Amino acid sequence: MALSIEKVIHNLHFDRLFLDKISAVEEAQRKNLHGNGIPFHYIAVFKTLLCMNENAMNTRNISTNYEKIFGRHILQSSLSRTLSYLSETLNLCTYVDSQYSPDRRFTWLKLSTAGKKFQKHLIGSTDVDQVHAKEIRNVINIKQGVK
């Protein structure tokens, strides 16, 4: 059970850090980017990217993997806007020309340094400090033995 709770903490910590990143950008730009609530689709697309091999990060594969993970289709236009936001606004990934495909119809990406740090948080690496773990741990109320 303790290991399962640690997995929950890593996942929630990742989400908190992602929302903190958005808040930092909002503060720097002095504008509210998400007045209507939590931008879950950005988190979902970014988590999809973090689960992929960088050599396969093109919009077609991202869309396919998003649907496999979350069970919902994402429109190409929504995916394009989301990837632009993750790249240009949050600097978590960058667009690149792929050496693996001469076909330029697909947009290829790779993780930025900040994106790779988020990946460590998602997988639960001990290389990263969990600054919000204590707060999250105090909130979690999962009883031992619950099945």
Measure the CA–CA gap between 23 and 5, rounded to whole angstroms: 27
Burial 129-138 (b: 16+ CB within 10 A, else e): ebeeeeebee
pLDDT band of 47, cuts 50, 70, 90: very high
* Predicted confidence (pLDDT) at residue 144 exceeds the cutoff of 70: no
Q: Which two tokens mark 80?
A: 């394009």
CA distance 96 to 107: 8
pTM of the model: 0.82
Mean pLDDT of 5-30: 87
Q: What does the pLDDT look like over 76-105, one tens digit per residue?
A: 999 999 999 999 999 999 998 866 666 655
Question: What is residue 34's three-state secondary structure?
Answer: coil
Per-residue pLDDT, 134: 87
The answer to whether the CB of 130 falls within 8 A of the CB of 82 is: no
3 state SS of 67: helix
Closest-CA residue to 118 (of 51, 36, 38, 35): 51
Average pLDDT over residues 104-109: 73
How high is the mean pLDDT of the chain?
Answer: 86
Q: Please, which residues have CB within 8 angstroms of residue 64's CB and are 6 or more apart in sequence?
A: none
Structure confidence at residue 44 as a pLDDT band (50, 70, 90):
very high
* Mean of pLDDT values over 28-44: 81
CA-to-CA distance for 31 and 16, rounded, in angstroms? Answer: 20
For 32, the token pair is: 């509210």
Q: Is 99 helix (H, G, I), strand (E, B) or coil?
A: coil
| Strand 93-96 relative to strand 108-111, pairing | antiparallel
pLDDT of residue 142: 65
The fold for domain 2-139 equals: Arc Repressor Mutant, subunit A (1.10.10)
Average pLDDT value for residue range 126-140: 86
| Domain limits, the chain | 2-139
Average pLDDT over residues 59-82: 93
What is the percent of the chain with per-residue pLDDT over 90, rounded to a whole number? 42
Give the integer Cα–Cα distance in Å for 124 and 115. Answer: 14
pLDDT at 143 over 80: no
Q: What is the mean predicted confidence (pLDDT) over 49-61?
A: 93
